[in-house]
Chains A and B, each alone.
Chain A
Amino acid sequence: NAGVTQTPKFQVLKTGQSMTLQCAQDMNHEYMSWYRQDPGMGLRLIHYSVGAGITDQGEVPNGYNVSRSTTEDFPLRLLSAAPSQTSVYFCASSLDRGVGYTFGSGTRLTVV
């Protein structure tokens, strides 16, 4: 039981490049979310999903896309990277509503 697995752990992108942050969980959790963490700003919700095929926008969705084709996987795509997207990205999952998250180990992204 690996929990929530995020890859890569570190990434440097050039402005305008695209990439996909991977997130997978093996706990059969229906609810998955992507957050970005910036100093002094806490964790801000980017996109979330309540099950396979169902996604919705969070607080800061611009510049990011998601899809949820399986229960296990919830990738986050950066369409055209910008320096403002330099951040630490966390994927999180939970079994149900009103239950705490299990977080992945994070991806530290730098856009130059």
Chain B
Amino acid sequence: GENVEQHPSTLSVQEGDSAVIKCTYSDSASNYFPWYKQELGKRPQLIIDIRSNVGEKKDQRIAVTLNKTAKHFSLHITETQPEDSAVYFCAASWAGGYQKVTFGTGTKLQVIP
């Protein structure tokens, strides 16, 4: 089955700096890669996703890049703000299958004011 590794497990940045979280996946058939943000005590919420026919996607301060050959994808947050502090999860699935989504172990991002 699919295995998703996520690094780093914790990340501290100064407000205004950029943050990068990296994930690798094992199943070359995976073609859908969502990212979720989970604030303390809350449910995970989808913040951005990318499909394998696209190399990069941006939404305001958030961007995701995908390298299919290397089987890794990354989340980039620019101009970080204190409200970006949360746990971020990457995930991978095969959109042609049964929506069996495998998650990474999470990155706790702390933005220091």
Residues of A within 8 A of B (CB): 31, 33, 35, 40-45, 48, 50, 56, 58-59, 90, 94, 96-98, 100-106
B residues contacting the other copy or chain, number (CB 8 A): 28
- How many A-B pairs have beta carbons closer than 8 Å: the answer is 67
Q: Determine whether the beta carbon of B43 is less than 8 Å from that of A98.
A: no
Instruction: State the Cβ distance, B89 to closest chain A Cβ, in Å.
Output: 6
Residues of chain B with a CB closer than 8 A to A106's CB:
43
Q: Determine whether the beta carbon of A43 is less than 8 Å from that of B99.
A: no
Chain B, interface SS category:
loop
Residues of B within 8 A of A (CB): 1, 6, 9, 31-32, 34, 36, 42-46, 49, 51, 89, 93, 95-106
Q: Determine whether the beta carbon of B101 is less than 8 Å from that of A101.
A: yes
Residues of chain A with a CB closer than 8 A to B98's CB:
31, 48, 50, 56, 97
Q: How far is the CA of A50 from the CA of B89 in the complex (A)?
A: 23
Instruction: State the Cβ distance, B27 to closest chain A Cβ, in Å.
Output: 13
Q: How far is the CA of A56 from the CA of B99 in the complex (A)?
A: 11
Contact partner, B100, options A41, A45, A103, Cβ 8 Å: A45
Q: Determine whether the beta carbon of B104 is less than 8 Å from that of A42.
A: yes
Instruction: State the Cβ distance, B109 to closest chain A Cβ, in Å.
Output: 15
Q: Determine whether the beta carbon of B31 is less than 8 Å from that of A98.
A: yes
Chain A residue with minimal CB distance to B97? A97
Q: Determine whether the beta carbon of B43 is less than 8 Å from that of A94.
A: no
Q: How far is the CA of A30 from the CA of B93 in the complex (A)?
A: 16
Q: Determine whether the beta carbon of B99 is less than 8 Å from that of A103.
A: no
Instruction: State the Cβ distance, A16 to closest chain B Cβ, in Å.
Output: 29
Q: Determine whether the beta carbon of B99 is less than 8 Å from that of A31.
A: yes
